[in-house]
Structure 1
Amino acid sequence: MKRLGALVSCLLTAVLLLSACGTGSGARDQALTIWATNVNVPILQKAAELYAKDHPGFKLNVVEMANDDIRSKVTIGLQAKGQGLPDAALLVDDGIHGYLEKFPDVFVNLSAKGFDEYRSQFPGYKVDSVSLNGDMYAFPFDAGPVGVFYRTDLFEQAGVDASRIHTWADYIEAGKKIRQATGASMLSYDSTDSTVFTILLSQQGLGYFDEQGNATLGTPQAQNVASLFSELKKNGLLIGSPGWNAWVTSLSSSQSATAITGAWLIGTLQQQLPDQSGKWGVMPLPAFEEGGSQSANQGGSSFVISRTSPRADEAYEFLKYFTTSFEMQELAMEGGLFPSYLPTYESKLFSEPVEYFAGKPVWTFFADEMSKIPSVLYTANDIFARNEAIKVQAEVTNGMDPAASLQGAATRIENRVQ
């Protein structure tokens, strides 16, 4: 029995040694891991299948997470000097610059690896959002060009021609006619979020901080935004909906004649308001002054690679393929995403009529917007300013003077970020 026990012991030792060797070899064959949000998962998986045809042995593990979870886990990983991070992750653009400021050298410098070759094939504002000191640190992916989605039937009932709305003053006058003729307000927005405020600020080329780190809520551009909220409310043209579901309900119940948001609303309307097919159109943002900017971006995301990844080179090659492939961007578009890779706009998918929008080629409208969108600066402190913007929205729609509200917000931000 002792001999048998010794033999078993030797065999177990041999198995463990072989397993250890196998683990070392397997580490080189492990799948590339990317964190991404739900709609991106099947697109990445399909891309991996196609990529593997020319790269035998390539494997991809996509971990599905919500944007907030990715943001939280990436922050924890960066604070731990890269520990626990995946090989790559899809991050919302407005948070990338803040990471680069607070955690230098944690993401792979794509310019140093040669990605500048593709720089001109993406919109300038998108490149700026993923760059620091002139170098790119993320692969630009989807975007959120903004438009004013409007109910064509309500406009027609009120005798309003959308093509004649050029400024926000025009928009307010049109809203008064629509309100009188249909009972609908002109605009509804999520009052628990700063999305519309941010869009209207970025339309004027501003983020929440300037290059010197000064808060912009005290600027004339912020005054324009707060005053617009105030005027819309005074004229009974604004609905503050508390949360996403309430906002969608305001659209489905015809309480609001317009919605200001990114191109992704196309999919939301088609899926959640199918009975309103043929009743929606899209027009540019009105300008704050005649001839002023009528374009902005909302959302969008890009891929970063962790410098601690043992498969950083593999991640670079795959993501370069994924973000600069015409075929992959068409795949993303069919999955409901708006690509930022400029050559994709030549795809027939962009010129096809969309039945839901009365046969209009709405994708062409948004593609044309991409080259007009101003660049804005994102910072690590934006979250504080966005919270203050929500407070400003609430104050001015409850009658507070816009200038006083903005001054209070600017002071609180300065005290917070000092």
Structure 2
Amino acid sequence: MKRLSVWLSLLLVLTVFLTACSSGKDEKASSTEGKATITVASWNAAADALTEQIEGFNKKYPDIKVEVLHTDTGYSKVTPALAAGTGAPDIIQTQARDFPAFLQKFPDQFVDITDETKKYKDDFIESSWKSVTQDQKIYAMPWDVGPTALYYRIDLFEKAGIDVESVKTWDDYIEAGKKLKETFPDTAMTLYTDDFNLYEIFLNQLGGSYVKDGKINVNSPESEKALLLQKKMKDEGIAINVHDGNGRIPALTNDKVASVILPVWYAGTLSHSVEKQAGKWGIVPIPAFEVGGNTQANLGGSILAVSKQSKNADAAFKFIEYVLTTDEGQKIMLKYGLFPSYTPFYKSEAFNSKDEYFGMELYPFFAKQTTTIKGMEYGPIMLDATKPLKDMIDGVLAGNDVKKMMGTTAESISKSTKLKVNH
């Protein structure tokens, strides 16, 4: 009986051991090889592009089901789940400038993908890695970027006697705007809205940052120059105000504006919203602040990150890899106006095709506008900084003292973020 008891005990131990091994093997298989469902939170055209990716992705990974959740740019469907630590999508899109704030506000909520992205380090525009890196670790993949250019009406410039090639600096641009008004009194050179797009373009062009050395930096010399240029454009009468981005289209349709300073994604807006002006728009690099100065800047761009709440993190990263590092994926992105930060795609036929609306190879032109883009330090402030920044710009345009407005804004952001201010 004693011997039988010993054998039964051994058999029980062996059974438990084998069951544990089998269970571990199945669990690993379910996370890497078995069927999985992943959800992706995205918005607008980006969400549509990701939705169209699913068919091609499933040809390669038939056992991974993908569901795209349409969210808003204010992240109202994402941040509560991150704060609660439960219910978050597997993959989350944020604007590149917002992601450092996500890492700060929701620590330990995003998967460290440093090892997975090592092989792609040289395949993306260098500056695009900045916003997804914290303490030398990578927590998201760069998606698209927004190289900026000057879109101008060829016909209006010619009738006003403006040679666009002679517009080398922003001062030249302002003078050209005055000349335009002599021929077309009811047409402005450009426009501005109640957002801070122009401010960020100018700030990035100058090499400025929202945060520097871990401190609020919106009171910097670069910030002052960016604000004063906007004010000068308004004061000289070459820029008109529209109250939101939608106001641009009527202004363009009715020949109320002769040029716009915006990124690559606005090319799609023009071709779809003012179709009758095909062939009338040209594109050149933005003017510099001084002769021979930098003529490149970035505005916008998004990232894709894997939530640590995901039970299928491996499958989620496979989807990110497919949509961002394959020609098949990037062709669809390009179709929706999302300019890739993934540079190997720049050699593809789709990327180098001629754009009929502008009569030029559109994307190769913008690829050349990415070579000297300066890395922007957003810091963990952008989710709290939007309103103070808008108030700062509005205050300067209204005639308030620039240095005082910058100082007030820096202190306001400091109060909400607990970061100190650079002095």
Separation in structure 2 between the aligned mates of residue 38 and residue 61 of structure 1, nearest angstrom: 15
Give CA-to-partner distance per residue, 1:162-216, whole Å, 9 cap, x none. Answer: 12222111111111111212222111011x2111111111112223221231232
The question of 1:125 aligning with 2:131 is answered: no
- Name 2:114's counterpart in structure 1: 111
The question of 1:74 aligning with 2:78 is answered: yes
Give CA-to-partner distance per residue, 1:248-304, whole Å, 9 cap, x none. Answer: 222222212211111111111111111211111112121112222211111111111
- Name 2:100's counterpart in structure 1: 97
Is residue 295–residue 372 contact of structure 1 (8 Å, CA) maintained in 2?
Answer: yes
Separation in structure 2 between the aligned mates of residue 42 and residue 403 of structure 1, nearest angstrom: 43
The question of 1:53 aligning with 2:59 is answered: yes
Is residue 215–residue 414 contact of structure 1 (8 Å, CA) maintained in 2?
Answer: no
- Name 1:159's counterpart in structure 2: 161
Separation in structure 2 between the aligned mates of residue 290 and residue 342 of structure 1, nearest angstrom: 29
Counterpart of 1:278 in structure 2: which amino acid? G
- Name 1:17's counterpart in structure 2: none
Tell me, which stretches of 5 or more residues in structure 2 are unaligned? 1-26, 419-423
- Name 1:150's counterpart in structure 2: 152
Separation in structure 1 between the aligned mates of residue 337 and residue 136 of structure 2, nearest angstrom: 31
SS at match of 2:324: helix
Task: Go from structure 1 to structure 2 and tell me whether the alpha carbon gap of 1:169 and 1:254 turns closer, same or farther (over 3 Å shift).
Answer: same
- Name 1:354's counterpart in structure 2: 355
- Name 1:332's counterpart in structure 2: 333
Q: Return the offset for 1:363.
A: 1.7
Give CA-to-partner distance per residue, 1:353-402, whole Å, 9 cap, x none. Answer: 22221x12222211111222111112232244442332233233333343
Separation in structure 2 between the aligned mates of residue 101 and residue 413 of structure 1, nearest angstrom: 15
Tell me, which stretches of 5 or more residues in structure 1 are unaligned? 1-23
Q: Return the offset for 1:42.
A: 4.4
Task: Go from structure 1 to structure 2 and tell me whether the alpha carbon gap of 1:86 and 1:227 turns closer, same or farther (over 3 Å shift).
Answer: same
Separation in structure 1 between the aligned mates of residue 229 and residue 412 of structure 2, nearest angstrom: 22
Is residue 87–residue 309 contact of structure 2 (8 Å, CA) maintained in 1?
Answer: no
Q: TM-score, normalised by structure 2?
A: 0.86
Percent of aligned pairs with the same residue? 32
Separation in structure 2 between the aligned mates of residue 43 and residue 243 of structure 1, nearest angstrom: 25
The question of 1:181 aligning with 2:183 is answered: yes
Task: Go from structure 1 to structure 2 and tell me whether the alpha carbon gap of 1:417 and 1:337 turns closer, same or farther (over 3 Å shift).
Answer: closer
Instruction: Please provide the CA RMSD for this pair.
Output: 2.2
What does 1:362-373 correspond to in 2, within 5 Å? 362-373=362-373
In terms of mean alpha carbon deviation, does 318-327 or 28-37 score higher?
A: 28-37
- Name 1:255's counterpart in structure 2: 256
SS at match of 1:202: helix
Counterpart of 2:170 in structure 1: which amino acid? W
Task: Go from structure 1 to structure 2 and tell me whether the alpha carbon gap of 1:30 and 1:298 turns closer, same or farther (over 3 Å shift).
Answer: same
Is residue 215–residue 413 contact of structure 1 (8 Å, CA) maintained in 2?
Answer: no
SS at match of 1:406: helix
Is residue 194–residue 390 contact of structure 1 (8 Å, CA) maintained in 2?
Answer: yes
Counterpart of 1:111 in structure 2: which amino acid? T
Task: Go from structure 1 to structure 2 and tell me whether the alpha carbon gap of 1:243 and 1:134 turns closer, same or farther (over 3 Å shift).
Answer: same
Counterpart of 2:77 in structure 1: which amino acid? K
- Name 1:382's counterpart in structure 2: 382
Task: Go from structure 1 to structure 2 and tell me whether the alpha carbon gap of 1:414 and 1:30 turns closer, same or farther (over 3 Å shift).
Answer: closer
Counterpart of 1:58 in structure 2: which amino acid? I
Is residue 230–residue 402 contact of structure 1 (8 Å, CA) maintained in 2?
Answer: no
Separation in structure 2 between the aligned mates of residue 170 and residue 72 of structure 1, nearest angstrom: 43
In terms of mean alpha carbon deviation, does 295-304 or 391-400 score higher?
A: 391-400
Counterpart of 2:367 in structure 1: which amino acid? A
Q: Of 21, 33, 37, which residue of structure 2 is paired with 1:31?
A: 37
Counterpart of 1:413 in structure 2: which amino acid? I
Counterpart of 2:188 in structure 1: which amino acid? S
Q: Return the offset for 1:139.
A: 1.5
SS at match of 2:165: helix
The question of 1:202 aligning with 2:204 is answered: yes
Separation in structure 2 between the aligned mates of residue 271 and residue 141 of structure 1, nearest angstrom: 23
The question of 1:407 aligning with 2:407 is answered: yes
Task: Go from structure 1 to structure 2 and tell me whether the alpha carbon gap of 1:316 and 1:414 turns closer, same or farther (over 3 Å shift).
Answer: closer
- Name 1:391's counterpart in structure 2: 391
Counterpart of 1:115 in structure 2: which amino acid? T
- Name 1:63's counterpart in structure 2: 69
Separation in structure 2 between the aligned mates of residue 255 and residue 222 of structure 1, nearest angstrom: 29
Separation in structure 1 between the aligned mates of residue 412 and residue 51 of structure 2, nearest angstrom: 45
Separation in structure 1 between the aligned mates of residue 351 and residue 158 of structure 2, nearest angstrom: 27
Task: Go from structure 1 to structure 2 and tell me whether the alpha carbon gap of 1:46 and 1:398 turns closer, same or farther (over 3 Å shift).
Answer: closer
Is residue 392–residue 409 contact of structure 2 (8 Å, CA) maintained in 1?
Answer: yes
Separation in structure 1 between the aligned mates of residue 90 and residue 106 of structure 2, nearest angstrom: 17
Is residue 208–residue 385 contact of structure 1 (8 Å, CA) maintained in 2?
Answer: no
In terms of mean alpha carbon deviation, does 346-355 or 227-236 score higher?
A: 346-355
Counterpart of 2:201 in structure 1: which amino acid? I
SS at match of 2:97: helix
Is residue 209–residue 382 contact of structure 1 (8 Å, CA) maintained in 2?
Answer: no
Q: Return the offset for 1:134.
A: 1.7
Q: TM-score, normalised by structure 1?
A: 0.87
